[in-house]
Amino acid sequence: MKVELQNVTRIFPSRNKREKNDVVAVNNFTFEIPDGKLIGLLGPSGCGKSTTLYMISGLQRPTSGRIFFGEDDVTDLAPENRGVGLVFQNYALYPHMTVKQNILFPLQNLKGEDKMTKEDMLERAYNVARLVQIDELMERKPSELSGGQQQRVAIARALVKMPRVLLLDEPLSNLDARLRLQTREEIRRIQRETQITTVFVTHDQEEAMSISDTIVVMKLGVIQQIGKPQDVYDNPTNLFVAKFLGTPPINIFKGYVRNEMLYIGDDPIMSVPGIQLPEKKVKVEQQDNQENISTEHNTANGQAVDSQTAEYKTVEDGVKGHPVYIGIRPEGFIVDEQNGPLHCHLNNVEVMGRDMTVVSSNSDSESGIIRSIINSDSGLDRQAETVRYSLKPHKVFIFDLDTEERILFEVK
Amino acid sequence: MYDTKRQWKAWLYLLPMLVLLAVFTIWPIINTVRMSMLEKYQALAAAGGKTFEVSFYNFKDVLSYNKFLTCLKNTMILCVVTVPVSSILALLIAVFLNSIRPLKRVLQTIFFLPYVTNSIAIGMVFAAMFNIVGSFHGTPNQIIETAGIINNMLGVFGIEPINWINPGSTYGANITVLVIYIVWNALPFKILILLGGLQGINKQYYDAAKVDGTPRKRIFTRITVPLLSPMIAYVVITGFIGGFKEYTSIVGIFGEDMGPAGASKRLNTMVGFIYDALENGRQGRASAAALILFAIILVVTLINLYVSKKRVHY
Ligand SMILES: Nc1ncnc2c1ncn2[C@@H]1O[C@H](COP(=O)(O)OP(=O)(O)OP(=O)(O)O)[C@@H](O)[C@H]1O
Ligand SMILES: [Mg+2]
């Protein structure tokens, strides 16, 4: 069953009638979930993920916009008539019922021609229980189960009535790291086996990336980007998305572009042919070209750190070039002690088998710390004061300083 | 193990409480048992140097005493009728109060009012409401004037005035008034407890039930009631205990005669019986009656606990 959201908006009016600070929990969402796919809703806390899910389930009504299941407009349909299965963040298993009673509960609600005989219900319940591997636990109460088992019961309860759409609200957030990994594989397996269109809400980017066919990245009720996990990771549309995806997170620098060359501090780190800088800033850059060149001479002669920070200011003022944010993925660094254009102070090295994490610092880095993932046999001198990097162009993203939108260039 | 020194300290701290308990709780209990076992015990006579034989006479006396059996019957009827009625009503009202938004606070306050008012005073108000003024036994041509608002209201529906509590009223009418009064008086506390329980139930259970298309009746019986069962058990058990101690409500409506004029003591209860015995200086009889009451409450509470162990989900 295909699910489609068209311009869906949800506004929570403020309690205080005089002040007009309504919360726009979900702002003009439009996206389509193809039949049988698993889509991940991803975003930080409070960005409207649960609200979106509740609107799809029918527990909440959109303020405006329409929701379709297949060709049917379900916007005005009550939850029980939508045929959705919902797994709550804390499972909401009925504590006074056994696992079996919990799973049977939705079936016993069916009426009219859907009504089932006791034997059919039991058979269906046991089939679903087997699917999520809890058929051994049918007589237990939820309090006698582990978190992971409870979660599977919750999924079984949502699946047993064969919903058209399965909705999962941060189902793994209560589990420990190992169980989370295991259960997420299981959800993937169950989804593949049942081919039920599934929406999976999480604030954990790794979880979303590993399990989803498509991810929807959200921020403050606004969709930032929709795409295949790998595509979104490789091609973030803005700084927020770039920062949100990836562990360790992307390294952000303040830098500038001049003459199709990208600079961090005074290091010309990479050429960016065909970069499409916004118009206004380009003019500023051309005006001040002369002065910039003269300052550059100074540093080329090996100036102290002092003058570097002084020049940093001029970069912000748009004097040295067009100021930008530069995002470099941890795997985008190559150690190059001879020719690497980016100079960083080497802090320490964490070896993790095949790869190692090199922690270095640079005054133009936003967090001050740079984490790069380098192949262990890269010939890094761990005793050295500085480390020199060259960069993989497709792992480097440039963003506008004001709009934080991506600025594209040609990657060869 | 704690060393002896520290144990001493602990006992020292407990001492004031232990002394109070011993003087005002433990000794009276022992003394009650003692008095009940002494044949025809009277404190005054005992003070005068009289000795009493040890026997079960008082118990036999009480149990074969017609007045006591009346009291036992009244108490039983009031308990068996009022506890279920008030518990179910309180449950329905609590669920209703919990489900509405506007006027919630106002209604909560109104339902809570009886709890903060004096029950004797309310009893007198009830008496006034169910009262009849003027000749009741008039000929059909005579106009019967009723001052009680209840009879006036019944009159609106064309129902003849009923003699609720005045001289000549029936036992059934008396009990009806008492039941209404006791139920109404018991509601606030029960509503308060159940409402508190309801507010403690996670809203997601209801969301889950809604997504699964559960009919409202089924939500009530399969989700609300089981999740509320500890509170319901509490309300029922305390209701029975309170019911067996019923006394003030009858005084409030019928006065200390415990019945309409001409039929005094008809509505007496077990506690009333004990008071009467004490008033007459019959401490032995009063003690025996008190112990019988204690035994009944104990048995009923044990039955309640046994039932709730099977039915209550904690
Ligand atoms: N009933 C409500 N009344 C008012 N505001 C609400 C209500 N429910 C949610 N909100 C607001 O809407 C926004 C989105 O909430 P939502 O629960 O959808 O966030 P979320 O993405 O699920 O966050 P989390 O990851 O913390 O669960 C938040 O700012 C929240 O404060
Ligand atoms: Mg949420």
Q: Any idea which ligand is nearest the CA of A203?
A: 1
> Is pLDDT of A287 > 80?
no
Is residue B161 included in any domain, yes or no?
no
For the segment A335-362, the average pLDDT, to the nearest whole number, is: 90
Q: Does B200 touch chain A (CB under 8 A)?
A: no
Q: What is the pLDDT of residue A341?
A: 92
Q: What is the pLDDT of residue A319?
A: 56
Is residue B81 included in any domain, yes or no?
yes
For the segment B90-102, the average pLDDT, to the nearest whole number, is: 89
Q: What is the pLDDT of residue A294?
A: 36
Which residues constitute the domain of residue B265? 56-113+172-311
Q: Do B148 and B128 touch, CB atoms closer than 8 A?
A: yes
DSSP string, A352-387: ETTEEEEEEE-TTBSSSEEEEEEETTS---TT-SEE
Q: What is the pLDDT of residue A305?
A: 35
CA A52 to ligand 1 centroid distance, Å: 10
Q: Which of A319, A313, A278 is nearest to A403 (CA)?
A: A278
Is residue B42 included in any domain, yes or no?
no
Q: Does B64 touch chain A (CB under 8 A)?
A: no
Residue B54: both structure tokens together? 């040890």
Helix A279-287 and helix A289-300, axial crossing angle in degrees, nearest 10: 70
CB-based contact A86 B214, cutoff 8 Å: no
Q: Which of A29, A32, A31 is nearest to A1 (CA)?
A: A32
For the segment A293-321, the average pLDDT, to the nearest whole number, is: 42
pLDDT band of A314, cuts 50, 70, 90:
very low
Q: Does B218 touch chain A (CB under 8 A)?
A: yes
Which residues in chain B touch residue A80, judged by CB atoms under 8 angstroms apart? 210-214
Q: Which of A409, A412, A370, A33 is nearest to A235 (CA)?
A: A409
Mean pLDDT of chain A: 85
How would you classify the pairing of strands A165-169 and A84-87? parallel
pLDDT, tens digit (0-9, with 9 covering 90-100), for B210-245: 998 899 999 999 999 999 999 999 999 999 999 999
Is residue B150 included in any domain, yes or no?
no
Residue of A nearest to B219 (CA): A109
Is residue B45 included in any domain, yes or no?
no
Q: What is the pLDDT of residue B104?
A: 79
pLDDT more than 70, % of chain A: 90
Q: How far is B214 from chain A (nearest CA, A)?
A: 5
Number of separate domains in chain B? 1
Is residue B38 included in any domain, yes or no?
no
Question: Counting atoms of ligand 1 from 1, which one is nearest the CA of A51?
Answer: 18
Is residue B296 included in any domain, yes or no?
yes
- Looking at chain A, the number of H-run helices and the number of E-run strands are 11, 21
Euclidean distance between CA atoms B102 and A203, whole angstroms? 36
Q: Which stretch of A89-103, A266-280, B71-85, B130-144 has the lowest confidence by average pLDDT?
A: B130-144
pLDDT more than 90, % of chain B: 52
Q: What is the pLDDT of residue A297?
A: 36
CA A88 to ligand 1 centroid distance, Å: 14
DSSP string, A187-215: HHHHHHHHT-EEEEEES-HHHHHHH-SEE
> Is pLDDT of B110 > 90?
no
Which residues in chain B touch residue A95, judged by CB atoms under 8 angstroms apart? 227, 313
pLDDT band of A282, cuts 50, 70, 90:
very low
Could you give the ipTM of this predicted complex? 0.75
Which range has the top average pLDDT, A97-101, A254-258, A268-272, B152-156? A97-101
Q: What is the pLDDT of residue B141?
A: 56
pLDDT, tens digit (0-9, with 9 covering 90-100), for A213-222: 999 999 999 9
Which among B210, B212, B227 is the nearest to A105, CB-wise? B212
CA A170 to ligand 2 centroid distance, Å: 7
Ligand 1 atom 20: residue of nearest CA: A46
Mean pLDDT of chain B: 88
Euclidean distance between CA atoms A191 and A210, whole angstroms? 14
* CATH number for the domain that contains residue B277: 1.10.3720.10
Q: Which of A10, A21, A24, A50 to mutate to test the pocket of ligand 1 (most atoms within 8 A of CB)?
A: A50
Number of residues written out for chain A: 412
Q: Which of A16, A14, A3, A2 is nearest to A52 (CA)?
A: A3
pLDDT band of A304, cuts 50, 70, 90:
very low
Which residues in chain A touch residue B211, judged by CB atoms under 8 angstroms apart? 57-59, 79-80, 84-86
Which range has the top average pLDDT, A16-20, A37-41, A191-195, B42-46? A37-41
Ligand 1 proximal residues by C-beta, below 6 Å: A 12, 23, 25, 43, 45-51, 203
> Is pLDDT of A279 > 70?
no
pLDDT band of A284, cuts 50, 70, 90:
very low
Q: What is the pLDDT of residue A146?
A: 87
Q: Which of A21, A23, A45 to mutate to test the pocket of ligand 1 (most atoms within 8 A of CB)?
A: A23
For the segment A15-22, the average pLDDT, to the nearest whole number, is: 74
Euclidean distance between CA atoms B225 and B314, whole angstroms? 12
Q: Identify from B202, B211, B218, B231 which residue to disrupt to test chain A contact, counting A C-beta atoms within 10 A and taking the largest count.
A: B211
Which range has the top average pLDDT, A278-292, A296-310, B130-144? B130-144
Which residues in chain A touch residue B229, judged by CB atoms under 8 angstroms apart? 96
Q: Which stretch of B31-45, B76-90, B108-122 has the lowest confidence by average pLDDT?
A: B108-122
For the segment A82-102, the average pLDDT, to the nearest whole number, is: 92
pLDDT band of A308, cuts 50, 70, 90:
very low
CB-based contact B207 A59, cutoff 8 Å: yes
Q: How far is B221 from chain A (nearest CA, A)?
A: 12
Q: What is the pLDDT of residue A100?
A: 95
> Is pLDDT of A291 > 70?
no
For residues B177 and B146, the model is more confident at B177
Is residue B151 included in any domain, yes or no?
no
Which residues in chain A touch residue B207, judged by CB atoms under 8 angstroms apart? 59, 86, 88, 92
Question: Counting atoms of ligand 1 from 1, which one is nearest the CA of A201?
Answer: 22
Q: Which of A264, A222, A267, A213 is nearest to A241 (CA)?
A: A222
pLDDT band of A141, cuts 50, 70, 90:
very high
By CB atoms closer than 10 A (0-12, 13-18, 19+), residue B182 is buried
